A and B are shown apart, each in its own frame.
Chain A
Amino acid sequence: MSSLAHLEKKKTLFFPSVRDIFKFYFFLGLNSRRSRLFLLSSIVPIVIAAIFKGSQILYGQPRFSGLFIYSNMIMMFFLHFLILIMTLFFGSSVCREEVDGSTLPYLVTRPLHKMAFIVGKYAASTLLVGLTVIFSLAICFLILNLTQLGEGGIYKVLARDAGVLFLGVMSYMALFTFLGIILKKAIFFGLLFSFGWENIIQYFPGQTQRFAVVHYLKSLLPAMTQEGFPFLLFRLEPTPLAQSILTLLGIVIFFLGLSCALYAWKEFIIDSK
């Protein structure tokens, strides 16, 4: 059989490539020891919620309501820590893990659309982290609102918060995927961005705070009472809901597109071990 004729039948399509890459990395994510270790960190807020609930049951008369503690946990633990650490780990790994681990040759020598690799692995990582975070959030919600589970309205709060966190995971994952492609020290700069820039810039008034991803995520959450953690909402001048969602989606498209283009253009030198 002529080799060229053989190739004619095997056009490399984008979406089948994305699907195959996605399936592979989702499976790998579930089975990798390192990933599981990081996914386990989502148990921490559940333990915290259980301790709160336990103390309420044992000592009664809580200082704050379950919903209030839950809202603060979203702010402090999920939004300001968990999704940042998890997306930084998974996002910067999208490309860098294959280069550092010298496994990239296995992937680039398959009939897979080059950009599909980034999109497929990004999607697998986003879903993995997103589901883990939402699972953890839901358990925290159920534990902390144990006495109000009959009230239908509170589930809207859970759905809204889950949506906000998933949007956060999508945005940060795209940003850190890009960092992982352009920088060898993506983790270091990712940490500086997440816990330096994102924290400092949001306390600036006016338009400056709009240069932080977390600003748009906070804008999607309802204004909370200042009694809880006032410093987290200090000087927050929220962006309208639709504009926030569009901006976050824009961040995803921009950084993911940039990552794909860069990955297709760039060559990666794998060190011989």
Chain B
Amino acid sequence: MNPVVETKNLSKYYGNVLGLSDVSVEIHPGVVGLLGPNGAGKSTFLKLITGQLKPSLGQVYVFGQKIWNNPQLFADIGYCPETDAFFEDLSGWQFLTWMLQLHHFSACQAKEKANEILGFLHLAEDKDRLIRSYSRGMRQRLKIAQAIAHDPQLIILDEPLNGLDPLGRRKVIKYIRKMGEEGRTVIVSSHVLPEIEAMTKKIILIHQGKIFASGNIHYIRELIDSHPHIISIKCNQVRDLAAALIKAEEVIKVFFTPDPQEVQIETRQRDVFFDRLQKLILELDLNVEAITSPDDNLQAVFDYLIGEK
């Protein structure tokens, strides 16, 4: 299957400041989280794949075509910028209707679609107020509205949850997941890990203008050899289990936590370890309450890869 977005050796320099360096990535339908600390190059990447910036080196293809100076592609692209900027003298409804008309919708169609999307994002009551009087959350919802109102196949959202209240966040996250399930391609950038984790398991991790990892979070975690996996087991005989595990070759470390019912181990061979654990549970007749991997999550992947830990 052809990728929706494809970059080949993409680099961007602002004078002698590096924005993005040698990025080759393929993005397929579904939700993809673009992750990285502030200034990592997320927005530069999004501006390059939306044709707002010209690559210094490399190519960007969207729907198999070059994006720079190819406006017809935008019929199927929705973009929500990070900056909090609007045509402040318009009302929310006017803004949305005009943005739809710039997609060549007729005035009637634009009005209909605008009403629909404003209702969905709980802006219907305030649609006639000038944007300059909108709260931060309302402005953010309006930005998202203009990105999705024309029903695009590729949706690019730069920090879309900034300024939204918890209820709004939940709703938008749910909607993003739904769009992904419908087979659209949604690229969401954020530096807030739980937000991305709630939307998708597919991530692209950018740091210092380079792609540090891309793919499924668990798969990426598997690839990080430098940090052994931590596995936590909660059961009734933690010390017997610990004594048995300490003899196992694949176990590097065994340690207890403040919880008297919990033992944690570190291993580099997860599969071998889980085989052994199954046998031990039966042998020692353990009553296991929970088995978890505290570092098999986005935060851990993020921390390991960008060197915070």
Contact residues in B for A12 (Cβ distance below 8 Å): 71-72, 75
Whole-angstrom CA separation of A271 from B83 in the bound complex: 8
Given contacts A4-B64, A102-B83, A273-B83, is CB(A10)–CB(B75) below 8 Å? yes
CB distance from B196 to the nearest CB of A (A): 20
Q: Scan residues 34-78 of chain B and give those whose CB is less than 8 A from a CB of chain A.
A: 43, 47, 50-54, 63-65, 69, 71-78
Contact among A16, A27, A104, A106 for B99, CB-based, below 8 A: A106
Identify which of B64, B85, B89 contacts A273 (C-beta below 8 A). B85
Q: Which residues of A contact B69 (CB under 8 A)?
A: 114, 264
Residues of A close to B99: CB separation below 8 A:
106, 110
- CB A38 to nearest CB in B, in angstroms, measures 13
A114 and B89 contacting across the interface, CB-CB below 8 Å:
no
Please, how many residues of chain A have a CB less than 8 angstroms from a CB on the other chain?
A: 40
Q: Which of B43, B85, B101, B102 contacts A103 (CB 8 A)?
A: B85
Q: Judge if B235 is at the interface, Cβ distance under 8 Å.
A: no
- Judged by a CB distance under 8 angstroms, whether B276 is at the interface is no
- Given that A24-B98, A110-B99 are contacting pairs, would A272 and B53 also be in contact in the complex, using a CB cutoff of 8 Å? no
Closest CB in chain B relative to A266 CB, distance in Å? 9
Asked if A24 and B51 sit within 8 Å, CB to CB, the answer is no
| Partner among A3, A11, A103, A267 whose Cβ is within 8 Å of the Cβ of B53 | A267
Known A-B contacts A7-B63, A267-B53; the reply to A28 vs B87 at CB < 8 A is yes
Question: B126 near A: Cβ within 8 Å?
Answer: no
In the assembled complex, B81 has its CB within 8 A of some CB on chain A: yes
- The reply to whether A112 and B102 form a contact with Cβ atoms under 8 Å apart is yes
A250 lies within 8 A of chain B by Cβ: no
B102 touches A107 (CB 8 A): yes
Residues from chain A with Cβ under 8 Å of B82 in the complex: 272
Please tell me if A262 contacts chain B, counting CB pairs below 8 Å: no
Tell me which residues across on chain A come within 8 A of B75, comparing CB atoms: 6-7, 10, 12, 111
Q: Are A109 and B79 in contact (CB under 8 A)?
A: yes
Contact residues in B for A156 (Cβ distance below 8 Å)? none
**Once the chains bind, are B102 and A110 in contact (CB under 8 Å)?**
yes
Task: Tell me whether B76 and A103 are in contact (CB under 8 A).
Answer: no
| B 91-115 contacts with A by CB, 8 A | 94, 98-99, 101-104
Whether B84 is near chain A, meaning CB under 8 Å from some CB there, is yes
CA of A109 to CA of B47, assembled, Å: 10
The residues in B between 15 and 44 inclusive whose CB is less than 8 angstroms from any CB of A are: 43
CB–CB B83/A111 < 8 A: no
Min CB gap B62→A, angstroms: 9
Number of residues on chain B facing chain A (CB within 8 A): 41
B190 at the interface (CB under 8 A from A): no
Contact of A208 with B by CB under 8 A = no
The interface residues of chain A lying within 8 Å CB-to-CB of B52 are 104-105, 108-109, 267-268, 270
Interface residues of A in 248-273 (CB under 8 A from B): 264, 267-273
Asked whether A109 lies within 8 Å of B153 as measured between CB atoms, the reply is no
Contact with B along A96-133 (1 / 0, CB 8 A): 00000111111111111110000000000000000000
Min Cβ gap B194→A in Å is 23
- Residues of chain B with a CB closer than 8 A to A106's CB: 81, 87, 99, 146
Distance between Cα atoms of A146 and B258 in the complex (Å)? 97
| Interface contact A20-B104, CB-CB below 8 Å | yes
Given contacts A110-B71, A111-B104, contact A273 B51 (CB under 8 A): no
Query: Using Cβ atoms and an 8 Å threshold, which residues of chain A touch B83?
Result: 102, 105, 270-273
B183 to chain A, nearest CB (A): 10
| A33 lies within 8 A of B102 (CB) | no
Residue on A nearest B77 in the bound complex, by CB: A109
Of residues 6 through 64 on chain A, the ones whose CB sits less than 8 Å from some CB of chain B are 6-7, 10-12, 16-17, 20-21, 23-24, 27-28, 31-33
In the complex, the answer to whether B84 meets A273 with C-beta atoms within 8 Å is yes
Q: Is the CB of A105 within 8 A of B79?
A: yes
- Is B101 within 8 A of A24, CB to CB? yes
A-B contact pairs, 29 of them (CB 8 A): A3-B63, A4-B63, A7-B63, A7-B72, A16-B104, A17-B71, A20-B101, A24-B101, A24-B102, A27-B98, A32-B89, A102-B83, A102-B85, A103-B85, A107-B102, A109-B77, A110-B71, A110-B74, A110-B99, A110-B102, A111-B71, A111-B75, A111-B103, A111-B104, A114-B71, A267-B53, A270-B83, A273-B83, A273-B85
| Besides the known contacts A10-B72, A111-B104, 13 further A-B residue pairs in the complex with CB atoms under 8 A apart | A6-B75, A7-B63, A7-B65, A11-B72, A17-B71, A20-B101, A28-B87, A32-B87, A102-B81, A105-B52, A108-B52, A110-B71, A112-B102
